[in-house]
Copies of this chain bind each other. A is one copy, B any other.
Amino acid sequence: MRIALINPNATASMTATCVAAAEAVKAVGTEIIGLTPQDGPASIEGPYDEAFALPGLIRAALKAEQDGADAVVVACFDDPGLEPLRAALCVPVVGIVEASMNAAASIADRMAVVTTTTRSLPRIRELAHRYGVAERCAIYASKVPVLALESGGYAPVRKTAEQAVAEGAEAIILGCAGMADWVAALHKDLAVPVIDGVAAAVKHAEGLVAQGLKTAKTGGYQFPAHKPFIGQFADDAWPED
């Protein structure tokens, strides 16, 4: 089984971190294909960055499916592009917020997300509502920018997570794909379960593929309709049947 792990934060080192996290949990026989879009922001912090990440993300996913991917995981804690990807692809598409909140809901009553900057809070709050955990999920910003995580980000993230635990969180969700390699350290420091969305999403994707499930194409996720696209996106028009 081949899982395309697309990091819409267009920073190759972060993609590598994500791939490593995926490799650590994947099943025997799963191949992880890390992909970094060729167009878009170096990191996604809030809706402006997200908007410019979508075209590159969608192109990368379409190519991945064409190249034989059995599922697509989107490695950004905004779950960007899940809807357009589900419309465009047949293979399952999984977000890391979705997967990590579902995982947390199975092992804890109250959970907390520790994310990067305050720009991400409205979107994560909306996703907690969508995924059914709004009433038992607190959301915290560590105020560490995504691209600063690698250099000294661990300490403030751990401190924010400690606050979350003190205020009732029974499990911590890492609120950025760039934190994917901190699971073990944080779990050791905090003594509560710590969930990385990339790992959770890879396992959820594996599960869907193993069940032979593909995206439903008869309703909300039916294929796009053909129509002309202009300018920079002329080649992205969905083809005629």
Contacts and interface: CB of A to CB of B under 8 A. Distances in A.
Contacts of A204: 102, 106, 203-204, 207
A142 to B, nearest CB: 14
Interface in A38-69: 38-43, 45-52, 54-56, 58
Contact of A220 (B38, B45, B108, B216): B108
Given A39-B232, A122-B83, A231-B40, A192 B218 contact: yes
Contacts of A228: 41-42
A219 B55 CA distance: 27
Given A119-B224, A224-B119, A40 B218 contact: no
Contacts of A229: 10, 40-42, 52
A154 interface: no
Interface residues of A, number: 100
B219 A168 contact: yes
Contact of A48 (B84, B118, B208): B84
Nearest to A126: B130
A179 interface: no
A70 interface: no
19 contacts: A27-B210, A39-B230, A45-B225, A46-B222, A47-B83, A49-B227, A52-B229, A55-B232, A55-B233, A56-B232, A83-B123, A93-B106, A102-B204, A103-B208, A106-B208, A193-B215, A203-B208, A203-B210, A232-B232
